[in-house]
Structure 1
């Protein structure tokens, strides 16, 4: 077997800090599909066929923001009201047409995610318009329906419109509660305004309120980070994600560093300590860990869409730049807003990119699900694959990243911090040391 440090990590007394060099991506995957040319007739045929998926999600993309955040490299379109209105009208018509197709009607949807961009930049009537169209889809009872966005500008009118349309979960990109840190990152509100609004929203009996926090932001110290986590605990909201800052190419942070305008921010080792301390504080206050990066204070929070998305379930995408899968094929809609509108107006419905079925998808979904949770059930894998991976598991165990318990692979705290690197390492291991016999 051939091993590399990017597969196994390294042996160190402090694996939390030093097992790998740096996290460079939010996700890990491997090749297994290729681009397909799909004509309009074939695309329309797909919508007349029943879905074979056991679990389904609906993703709707709202590609508008009022401001570009410092850590973001995928800012798409300014949130000019007339532009948003035109888009929402076209999107709702597309959704209404799709809702009556056999493909959509054949299986109910477990969860819906309205992401962006900043969907809360829609007007109240537009939020309700979109929510009402979503209700024309077959949804499971009490389906999780999430609206993503920011606290600033999310008025009571918008909140009530969303709730009356059946939206029951709200995910806000808080990033930090510290006024100086968050405003430097491109957020609007000060700490007091933010926390007061979060607490108000969390009191509603039918709304699940969730926030994202980022550790490693410019100007953020260990103490300000711990204050962030404690403030979220005290706010009364129902869930939180702890995300590590990734220096994405062409983000404002990256551009400043290329110009040697260095900003004071935590290095990888300091971020590892921040992650561990944040996780410990949440769990000391009774928050349940649902994944390596997500905790909840109340059972109403399930984080269902995020969980299913990492498992590779069927996600039917709508909107410019939306990605997902249909009949096992990866699909990505045109990202350019003008191109998306032109395609709609001319009757062209084929997405911008379609991929062939990935033969590895089912196995990869099992592995990704396990790594996301911090526990991989090895008996869900084919015996041949499980045996083939044992040599890698031994290396991980020696390096303090996992513990094996019968048929369970449990990530240690260090393993949870480095889980994306480990998953990428597993796929590298399989590419370098291919499994030649695929027996169950």
Structure 2
């Protein structure tokens, strides 16, 4: 066994409500037809965080991410309340990254300006497409004009760290249409673009009523052409679906580098390392917003009343758990991260790693754990080697 150490710590905050549930969405999001219980939910988040605060083990937060759902349905005052409490209760690193997901059509200029004043310093805007027909096919509540306005509004509010979320492989989408979305996004000079293919997930409307998606050859052409277009514009692909020519997403990097994170809110997940106990575990919170708000009682073995379950990551699980994250990164992770963040020797990856090296799917270097360009194209096959 190797020395297990405390990695950096992030905080994920889940806001579970949306104006309308999208037909492709399998996240824990719930359509709300009534006024949101904003103040009550923030009260619950504060209590949830207080119950988990000891898990920080003296670390300050390197990043916070408000996800959903649609966090931009909440007021800046509400967002500010939980940020103020997190800073007092746990503490912030001086250069903390604080990201809020926002969907076009759910905010106005004043709200964006106020988000910035509360300390939010990065926005992730769920554009998905700038084409009206694609937005309609995806069941989005906004149109192309609202998408364009959202980006302009964010810039005028003072945000200089902006991610635009774009999907490709949409129903009936052509190569030209996909490239037009990228070109429109590039016209705003974003610092970061998340560009990922639409997948049909279980427990979604699209799973039960699948739309007609582009054929495999078209999907491959879109993927290749989009990568070339973004690269030519100065973006570096540092993760499977993430491109940056400004700051990389620090919060997501912490996930991919097998860091720790607290998760508060309905259905939120966390991952925590406790070196003295030689323990790494995942914890998840009560999923349904109504039950979460009803001051739930957790199982007797769990200290947090909002927790619904907990799972220890055993020695046998850790190699795959680490690689599921690290191999998504184009450059992978330093090899010593594996030992310090799993407590295992690097030899725990053998003999599978050697077999993957011989197939040129992973890098031969002992300095980094990374997939080759070929390995990233067949990442499921690489990971499957460890899941058999």
Residue 251 (structure 2) pairs with residue 305 (structure 1): yes
The answer for the alignment partner of 1:434 in structure 2 is none
Give the Cα separation in 1 of the matches to 2:33 and 2:40: 11
| SS of alignment partner, residue 71 of structure 1 | coil
How do 1:375-390 and structure 2 match up within 5 A?
375-376=331-332, 379-380=335-336, 382-383=346-347, 385-390=349-354
Closer, same or farther: CA 302–74 of 1 in aligned 2, 3 Å: closer
The equivalent of 2:130 in structure 1 is 177
Change (3 A) 1:75 1:59: closer
Tell me the SS of whatever aligns to 1:93: helix
Q: Which residue of 2 aligns with 1:289?
A: 237
- Contact residue 311 and residue 365 of structure 1 kept, 8 A: no
Paired position in structure 2 for 1:84: 37
Instruction: Point out where structure 2 has 5 or more consecutive residues left out of the alignment.
Output: 275-279, 339-345
> Any stretches of 5+ residues in structure 1 without a counterpart?
1-50, 258-262, 432-440
Instruction: Give the TM-score, by structure 1 length.
Output: 0.74
- Give how far 1:254 is off: 1.6
In our comparison, the structure showing a higher alpha carbon Rg is 1
2 CA distance for matches of 1:106 and 1:196? Answer: 42
CA contact (8 A) 1:92 1:129 kept: no
Q: Post-superposition shift, 1:351? A: 1.0
Query: Is 1:189 matched with 2:142?
Result: yes
Please identify runs of 4+ aligned residues in structure 1 that moved more than 6 A: 345-348
Describe the shift of the 1:199–1:86 C-alpha distance in structure 2 as closer, same or farther (beyond 3 A).
Answer: closer
2:293 match: 341
Query: Which of 206, 226, 240 is equivalent to 1:278?
Result: 226
- The question of 1:224 aligning with 2:177 is answered yes
Matches within 5 A, 1:398-409: 404=364
Greater displacement, 117-126 / 403-412: 403-412
Pair 1:413–1:215, CA change in 2 (3 A)? farther
Alignment: residue pair count? 366
The two structures have a TM-score, normalised by structure 2, of 0.84
Offset, 1:402: 5.5
Q: Does 1:394 align with 2:346?
A: no
Structure 1 residues 239 and 203: alpha-carbon distance in aligned structure 2, compared to 1, 3 A threshold: farther
TM superposition shift of 1:292: 2.0
Q: Higher relative CO (CA 8 A, sep ≥ 6), structure 1 or 2?
A: 1
Decide whether aligned partners of structure 1 residues 105 and 157 sit closer, same or farther in structure 2, where only a CA change above 3 A counts. Answer: farther
Whole-Å separation in 1 of the counterparts to 2:304 and 2:146? 45
- The corresponding residue for 2:381 is 422
Question: SS of the residue aligned with 1:349?
Answer: coil
